[in-house]
């Protein structure tokens, strides 16, 4: 329920993330938990406004959350429509320096950040342009199963962060979403949403590298996801992005000498 104190603003209002990383909150408060993040180039529709907060719907995965109204660049609907109809380039390095050509200031962007309206070594957002040097990809990396595992390994040892999507902190579904994004495949944001995508596999023996494994809690709710590897291994974000043993029961943590997650189902999206 949206409180009566909220007011509706015109749906023609849109925005784009022009900062490195922006926290997205469950409620319109600095004290509220972070549920996801915007990376540079992520664009969205503004649904509601309350005081200094905007309720947004992220274009990439339809995720709805709150952001500080000072932490994005407003854009026109025609810009939003162009972004929605064209494929963005992606940053292919863990961290890359980008320059705001208007102010000549430098700031970092992280891997999987989008580079909209790309032209040579620049990306443009309406009347603002940004230049950078380094590695980027035209569209996305090849979506081969080997490619997915190689991309996943770039995040190895990233610390766990609830709602995170960067090499400085990431959660389990943010990890799978970003790895798949770099492979040209769109996943929803949360683990239970991702579990609704793709083809269900019947047995662990059917799973191949790059497939997704989902895990539930005692109430039967899907609360965790990881990426299947060769040799009965899985890479996932739990404490940090790590590699553990994996079988029909779930994830076996060698340090704990016990199962840490109970397998619910397997999905093939590629």
Q: 191 and 129 in one domain?
A: no
In a domain, 1, yes or no: no
Q: 242 and 188 in one domain?
A: yes
In a domain, 66, yes or no: yes
Letter string b/e over residues 134-149, b meaning 16 or more CB atoms within 10 A of that residue's CB: eebeeebbebebebbb
Domain range enclosing 57: 7-80
Q: Which of 31-45, 158-172, 244-258 has the lowest mean pLDDT?
A: 244-258
Q: 168 and 193 in one domain?
A: yes
Q: 263 and 177 in one domain?
A: yes
How many domains does the chain fold into? 3
From 17, 65, 140, 224, the catalytic residue: 224
| Spatial contact of 73 and 128, defined as CB atoms under 8 Å apart | yes
Question: What CATH number is associated with residue 160?
Answer: 3.90.1720.10
In a domain, 257, yes or no: yes
pLDDT tens-digit profile of 57-79? Answer: 999 999 999 999 999 999 999 99
- Give the residue among 138, 201, 172, 166 at the shortest CA–CA distance from 37: 166
pLDDT tens-digit profile of 103-120? Answer: 999 999 999 999 988 887
| Spatial contact of 126 and 82, defined as CB atoms under 8 Å apart | no
In a domain, 33, yes or no: yes
Last residue of one domain, picked from the residues 35, 53, 80: 80
Q: 164 and 249 in one domain?
A: yes
Catalytic, 172? Answer yes
Q: 207 and 176 in one domain?
A: yes
Last residue of one domain, picked from the residues 58, 80, 102: 80
Question: What CATH number is associated with residue 69?
Answer: 2.30.30.40
Q: 107 and 209 in one domain?
A: no
pLDDT at residue 3, as a whole number: 45
Q: 247 and 203 in one domain?
A: yes
Number of separate helices (H) and strands (E) present in the chain: 4, 25
Catalytic, 236? Answer yes
The pLDDT confidence band at residue 6, using thresholds 50, 70 and 90, is: very low
In a domain, 2, yes or no: no
Q: 109 and 49 in one domain?
A: no
Phi and psi of 134, rounded to 5°?
A: 135, -160
pLDDT at residue 138, as a whole number: 58
Residue 2 has pLDDT above 70, yes or no: no
CA atoms of 114 and 136, how far apart (whole Å): 10
pLDDT tens-digit profile of 168-204? Answer: 999 999 999 999 999 889 999 999 999 999 999 999 9
Q: 61 and 17 in one domain?
A: yes
Last residue of one domain, picked from the residues 80, 96, 113: 80
pLDDT at residue 163, as a whole number: 98
Q: 29 and 58 in one domain?
A: yes
Q: 264 and 171 in one domain?
A: yes
From 65, 236, 248, 261, the catalytic residue: 236
**Beta-ladder partners of 237:** 241
- Which residues contact residue 200 at a Cβ distance below 8 angstroms, ignoring those fewer than 6 apart? 265, 266, 267
Residue 1 has pLDDT above 70, yes or no: no
Residue 141 has pLDDT above 60, yes or no: no
The pLDDT confidence band at residue 4, using thresholds 50, 70 and 90, is: very low
In a domain, 176, yes or no: yes
Catalytic, 224? Answer yes
């Amino acid at each position: 329920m949206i409180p009566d104190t909220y007011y509706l603003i015109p749906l023609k209002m849109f925005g784009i993330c022009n900062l490195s990383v922006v926290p997205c909150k469950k409620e319109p408060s600095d004290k509220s938990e972070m549920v996801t993040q915007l990376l540079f180039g992520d664009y969205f529709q503004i649904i509601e406004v309350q005081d200094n907060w905007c309720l947004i719907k992220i274009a990439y995965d339809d995720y709805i959350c709150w952001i500080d109204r000072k932490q994005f660049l407003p854009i026109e609907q025609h810009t939003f429509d162009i972004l929605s109809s064209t494929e963005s380039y992606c940053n292919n390095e863990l961290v890359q320096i980008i320059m705001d050509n208007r102010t000549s200031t430098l700031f970092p962007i992280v891997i999987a950040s989008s580079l909209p309206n790309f032209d040579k070594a620049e990306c443009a957002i309406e009347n603002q342009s940004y230049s950078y040097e380094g590695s980027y990809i035209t569209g996305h990396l090849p979506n081969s199963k080997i490619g997915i595992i190689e991309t996943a390994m770039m995040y190895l040892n990233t610390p766990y962060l609830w709602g995170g999507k960067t090499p400085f902190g990431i959660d389990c579904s943010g990890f799978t979403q970003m790895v798949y994004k770099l492979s040209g495949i769109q996943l929803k944001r949360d683990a239970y949403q991702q579990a609704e995508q793709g083809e269900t596999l019947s047995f662990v023996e059917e799973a191949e590298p790059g497939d997704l494994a989902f895990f539930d809690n005692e109430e039967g709710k899907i609360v965790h996801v990881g990426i299947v590897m060769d040799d009965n291994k899985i890479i996932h974000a739990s404490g940090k992005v790590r590699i553990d043993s994996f079988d029909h029961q779930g994830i076996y943590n060698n340090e704990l000498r016990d199962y840490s997650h109970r397998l619910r189902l397997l999905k093939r999206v590629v």
